[in-house]
Amino acid sequence: MSTREWLRRLVAFDTTSRNSNLALIETVRDALAAQGVTSELSYAPEGGKANLFATLPAHDGATQGGIVLSGHTDVVPVDGQDWGSDPFSLTEKDGKLYGRGTADMKGFIAASLALVPHFLSLRRTKPLHLAFSYDEEVGCLGAPVMLAALKQRGVRPEGCVVGEPTGMRVVVAHKGMNLYRCRVHGKAAHSSLTTRGCNAIEHAARLICHLRDLADQFKSQGPYDECYDVPFTTLSTNLIAGGIAVNTIPDACEFSYEFRNLPGMSPDGIQRRVEAYIQTELLPRMRRDHDAARVEIEAMPVAVLALEASEREAITRLVRALTGDKGTSKVSYGTEGGQFQNAGIPAVVCGPGHIEQAHRADEYIDIAQLTACEDFLRKLAGSLVD
């Protein structure tokens, strides 16, 4: 089956993160099994989703070491988007293939699957691994389950290529993403009796302003890495809700904030600064109004770890040599690369398509990008031949 045929098949599965991906995963498992390749599935806690990890052994049967080709199977919603074609039916026009997930990132998965017969035909001295995950789009939740299963089985690849859309450039670093939900609890009262209440919205606003002050500090003082389009750590408050009526002092306010940290900058250190402000300044002020006032912070289940690939690692040198890309590319969006690196598997990001086409209506990938990806993957597999 060609890359385009595989892509058509993959796009037809509505693997929006809120849905199960099992039909897609089982289709891939069965197609690999028909070629003599065994897949290991690791399931989400609720059982409705799964990761797939398959090993194409070396010519002598070796399964240790080698290189992972990594991709996520879930996609973002199409709700409210004005598409010119069915988002779950591959449509070709003017050298482009349209459909949800074509760029992010079923194109890379399709190319990898289409080339399995070629990979198997080579007398490789090292294995190739396929790693297809669930729930990357909602916080990289699936990859840790897969990596834990690999560790339990004693599988330790030597490197990983994460095929997120980079225009086939080599991306060596990206920021981490950390998401928190904050609930501020005050005391309700009639708005004409302000001294008898504790206004949760107003005190939440003080904390939000503190977050903005931290963001401004990172912007003005760094640390900086000019290889990023936004060269410093960012913080932002993006959701808020509170209050029940215009004439009632609100007893509760809830908001969510995130920060995207540069590699090497401790996310725990940033969060400790937030919590120190709450304990030393915000809560004492709130409790002057209401002694039972409290602030709750919940870390959301997001596992987007920062990535910073070493130029000394074999996988970095290899992918640079195969693509001819000598530039230093770093991005602010997240991938599963940081999780592989954290598990002791050096990783770089390199895949077909462009992030500008992802997540939008009429998402597409250029056919030329898929061709470039196929060429790269053939060279990558060829590098494992003695």
Cβ neighbours for 154, distance < 8 A, ≥ 6 positions apart:
none
How many C-beta neighbours within 10 Å does residue 158 have? 17
Both tokens of 27, joined, read 């289709």
Cα Rg of the chain (Å, integer):
24
The CA-based angle 321-73-23, given to 5 degrees, is: 140
> What amino acid positions are annotated as catalytic residues?
74, 136
Q: Is 40 helix (H, G, I), strand (E, B) or coil?
A: strand
Both tokens of 209, joined, read 């302003």
Residue type present at position 194: T
